[in-house]
Amino acid sequence: MSGPLDGIKVIECAHWIVGPMAGVMLGDLGADVIKVEERLGGDRMRGVTHLGSHKIERNWLFEGYNRNKKSITLDMSKDDGKEILYQLVKQADIFLTNFTDAALKKLGLDFETIFAHNPRIVYAQGSGWGSKGPLKVKPAFDTLMAARSGFFMQIKGAEQEPFIYPGAFSDVITGITLVPAILAALLSRQQRGQGQKVEVSGLGSLINLQIELLTSILLTGKEEGRQVREKAGNPLWNLYQCGDTRWIALAMPQSDRYWSRFCEAMEIKHLEKDPKFENYMARSNNAEELVAILDDLFLTKSLSEWVEHLGKWDLLYGPIQNLPELVTDPQVLANDYIIDFNHPVYNMVKMIGFPYKFSDTPPSVRSATPELGQNTEEILLEMGYEWEDIARFRDSEVI
Residue range 103-118, pLDDT digits in tens: 999 999 999 999 999 9
% of the chain with per-residue pLDDT over 70 = 98
∠ Cα 352 168 239 (to 5°): 80
Report yes or no: 81 and 74 within 8 Å, Cβ to Cβ.
yes
Domains of the chain in start order, with CATH, are 9-211+345-395 (3.40.50.10540), 229-324 (3.30.1540.10)
What string of DSSP letters covers 258-296? Answer: HHHHHHHHTT-GGGTT-TTTSSHHHHHHTHHHHHHHHHH
Report yes or no: 66 and 366 within 8 Å, Cβ to Cβ.
no
Task: Tell me what the pLDDT averaged over the chain comes to.
Answer: 93
The mean per-residue pLDDT over the stretch 175-183 comes to 97
Residue range 3-44, pLDDT digits in tens: 999 999 999 999 889 999 999 999 999 999 999 999 998 998
Indicate the residue type of 112: E
Tell me, what's the pLDDT at 219? Answer: 93
Residue range 120-176, pLDDT digits in tens: 999 999 999 999 999 998 989 999 999 999 998 888 777 778 888 888 999 999 999
The mean per-residue pLDDT over the stretch 380-390 comes to 96
Residues in the chain: 399
Which distant-in-sequence residues (6+ apart) come within 8 Å of 335 by Cβ? Answer: 353
Phi, psi angle pair for 386, to nearest 5°: -100, 165
Strand partners, 69: 33
- Does residue 197 register a pLDDT over 80? yes
- Does residue 53 register a pLDDT over 70? no
Handedness of CA 160, 165, 170, 173 (dihedral sign): negative
Tell me, what's the pLDDT at 155? Answer: 84
Tell me, what's the pLDDT at 44? Answer: 86
For residue 134, give Cα distances in angstroms to 102, 130, 131, 197. 15, 10, 10, 21
Tell me, what's the pLDDT at 65? Answer: 94
Residue range 57-94, pLDDT digits in tens: 767 888 889 999 999 999 999 999 999 999 999 999 99
> Coil, strand or helix: which one is 111?
helix
% of the chain with per-residue pLDDT over 90 = 83
- Euclidean distance between CA atoms 290 and 20, whole angstroms: 48
Q: Sheet containing 122-127: which strands, arranged edge to edge?
A: 69-74, 32-38, 9-13, 94-97, 122-127, 196-201
Report yes or no: 94 and 11 within 8 Å, Cβ to Cβ.
yes
Tell me, what's the pLDDT at 159? Answer: 72
Which distant-in-sequence residues (6+ apart) come within 8 Å of 245 by Cβ? Answer: none
For residue 246, give Cα distances in angstroms to 165, 240, 312, 320. 20, 9, 20, 7
Tell me, what's the pLDDT at 163? Answer: 81
The mean per-residue pLDDT over the stretch 359-388 comes to 95
Tell me, what's the pLDDT at 227? Answer: 80
